[in-house]
Structure formats: C-alpha cells, structure tokens
Amino acid sequence: MKVDYIIVGAGLAGLCFADYCLNNNKTFVIIDDAIRTSSKIAGGMFNPVVLKRFTAIWQADEQIDLANDFYPLIEKKLQTNFYHKLPIFRKFASIEEQNNWFLACDHPLTNKHLNTKLRTQAFDNITSPFLFGEVFNTGYLNVGLFVSSYQQYLQNEQLFVNESFNYNELIIEESKVVYKHFEAKHIVFAEGFSMLNNPYFNYLPLDGTKGELLYVKIPDLQLSKIIKSNIFIIPIGNDVYKIGATYNWEDKTDDLTQSAKTELLQGLEQLINCPYEVIKHLAGVRPTVKDRRPLVGCHFEHKKVHILNGLGTRGVLLAPYLAEKLFLNIENNVPLDPNINVARYYKKLQLIK
C-alpha cells in the first residue's frame, strides 16, 4: 500500500501532523500501540505567559492564533467538544509578585495578555490576601478526549494501525521508506518519550519530566475559572476539577507515587477551604528537552526520515504549530526556525558540518 506518510505516534504531535495531511490531501497511515503516551494524562492548560515569572512564551501569539482556528475545526469534524477557552487567575503569594505582574503589564510582549486591574473579589472557598491577576487568551484542551476521539475517527477511516512499531522492519531507501506492506515518501516519528527506543533518534537529549495529576470532586467550590497558584485547578464540569501538576526529573516511569499525590493535596488544601474527594490519580512522562526547545526536522543522513518531538509541558499550543512547520518544511521546503530544528544537535554531536 502506497502512502505519502507513515506517522509513528498517535499522541498530540502525531495527530496534529495527521490533520495537516488530511487537510492537504496527503495520504498516510498512523501507527501506535497507545500503551505509553503523556498526551492522554496531560493537564491540557494553555496560556501565552510563563505564570511563574510573568514572561512571554516563545512565539506565543502565533501559537495562540493557530490553536484558536485549529482545534475548533477538529471539534466540528469529530462532533466533540474538547477545546475550552477559560480565563486563568493567577493567585499572588506576595506584594513582590504583584509588583512583578504590573511590570509585565507594561512589557510589549506580555501586556496584551494581562489584566492591569487585579481581581479584588474573592472566589468562594478560595482565599488570597494578595489578590489575583487575570490572564487572557487562555483555557484548556481535554487532551484525553481529543486523542481518543481522533484515534477512533482514524480507525473508522482505516488510517490507524494499533500496534507497536518494529524498527527492524523499516527499510529506508533514497526516494522512499518501506514498512511491512506500507510504502511511503516520508516517515515521521512523533513518539514522545518513547523516542528513547528509536535507533534513528535515541542519541538526542530528550530528558523527560514525569508529571502526576489528580481528578477531584469539590461540590462546594462552584468554580468556572482556572486558578493557578503553586498548583493549577481546572474545572471540567459536574463539580470535578483537574489538579496538577508535579515535576520529577529523576523518575521516568508511569507509576503513581504517594509523594506526588501528597504534594498536590497539600497545594489544594492551601488553596481551598472546603471538602473534596479524590476520584482519579494519573501519571506520565512529558517529552522535555534539555534546552527547552522542540526537536523537529529530518534525520542527518536519511532525508525521508523525520522527527516531531520535544513538546514538553506546552504541547497543546506547540503541537499544531510544530506540525504545520514540519509539514511545510517537507512539502514546500520552508526552512525551519533554528530554535526548533533538530540540526542544532547534529552540529553539536559533529554529525554534520
């Protein structure tokens, strides 16, 4: 069977690339066993500002504009709602944080995303003596629903192969790649942290950061905004909230830990003053890179082999943005930004000049 693309990985990155293929009449097959993916357990919150330091996120405006078009179109195609625009209110822990907020309100890269008027009215059952700052152009993607519904759509269209990819069966030629009974012009690896098993890219510095989050039922909170303090709390309906997230740079497993659960619940109890019930605990490893920039582009030797990875903690915005950049690079030879181009590591490793 001949296709334009073989896509390996059906998380956020792979599905976004598949969507560009669909919209541009490119044939493809996507292969994934869906055993390990951080996409299904991701917090899904998106915003244009680093909420710890109130600094701008790289290419935030372009990414937000793209996401606001990209995800609603997929919602319409799948007849499912998973992209939710909600304001984020950042709880201040001190006067110093308030001052830093006002400085950011004057900065040209962040001023359009921050409300200069602090919220003085308290949320029910949440106390904040230093008030809140409102962030615009924010919300959350129900990543698990996005991934599962899109995978099901592709299965119905017979474009999805639910199996582990066997690298030993990949044949790479100058003008094509062959995998089992598929022959493709290109292959795109969008495997997340599982890239470490990929012999074509496992030497790249994909570090991996484990994250854990909770689903908690809080009937008395009645919250319709996202609150960010040392944790985030996202309302997802029916008195259920997503609480996250932890960061562990040592543990590379998907195992649930009591220490992370305790950390999240301590943060929750510092934030709210009403009863709650934990209903679910999830864990996964985010595909983070040491220089905090993605890994996008073609293999240094095999020009038909490509990578789309390293989305880290900002996958909701980066996935459609990077998928578009890689697609245009392959199809139209549009150069990749050096900040995302995997060639920056080929040079460091002396694989290319």
What residue ranges do the domains of the chain occupy?
A: 2-41+144-206+290-348, 85-139+207-286
In terms of phi and psi (left: phi > 0; alpha: psi -120 to 50; beta: otherwise), the region of 325 is: alpha
Which alpha helices (DSSP H) does the chain contain, by range?
12-23, 60-78, 95-105, 143-156, 258-271, 315-332, 343-348
Biggest alpha carbon–alpha carbon distance for the chain: 64
* pLDDT score recorded for residue 40: 59
Rounded-to-integer distance, Cα 245 and Cα 284, Å: 11
Rounded-to-integer distance, Cα 84 and Cα 86, Å: 6
According to DSSP, the β-strands at 88-91 and 226-228 are parallel
Rounded-to-integer distance, Cα 210 and Cα 207, Å: 10
Q: Do 284 and 147 meet the contact criterion of CB atoms below 8 Å apart?
A: no
Rounded-to-integer distance, Cα 98 and Cα 118, Å: 9
Task: Show Cβ contacts of residue 96 under 8 Å, excluding neighbours closer than 6 positions.
Answer: none
Residue 174 has φ and ψ, to the nearest 5°, of -65, -35
* pLDDT score recorded for residue 39: 63
* pLDDT score recorded for residue 24: 98
* pLDDT score recorded for residue 38: 60
CB atoms within 10 A of CB 53: 10
Extract the residue ranges of the chain whose pLDDT is less than 50: none
* pLDDT score recorded for residue 195: 94
- Residue among 6, 329, 325 nearest 190 (CA): 6
Provide DSSP, 245-270. ---BSS--S----HHHHHHHHHHHHH
Please tell me the number of Cα atoms within 13 Å of 138 on its side-chain side.
Answer: 25
Give CATH for domain 85-139+207-286.
3.30.9.10
Strand order across the 45-46 sheet: 45-46, 139-141, 83-85
Q: Do 206 and 287 meet the contact criterion of CB atoms below 8 Å apart?
A: yes
Q: What pTM did the predictor assign?
A: 0.95
Q: Do 299 and 201 meet the contact criterion of CB atoms below 8 Å apart?
A: yes
The angle that helices 143-156 and 60-78 make with each other, rounded to 10 degrees, is: 50
Two structure tokens written together for 99? 């001052």
* pLDDT score recorded for residue 30: 98
Provide DSSP, 79-135. T---EEE--EEEEP-SHHHHHHHHHHHTSTTTGGGB-SSPB-SPPTTB--TT-EEEE
CB atoms within 10 A of CB 307: 26
* pLDDT score recorded for residue 43: 82
2-41+144-206+290-348 adopts what CATH topology? FAD/NAD(P)-binding domain (3.50.50)
Q: Is 212 helix (H, G, I), strand (E, B) or coil?
A: strand
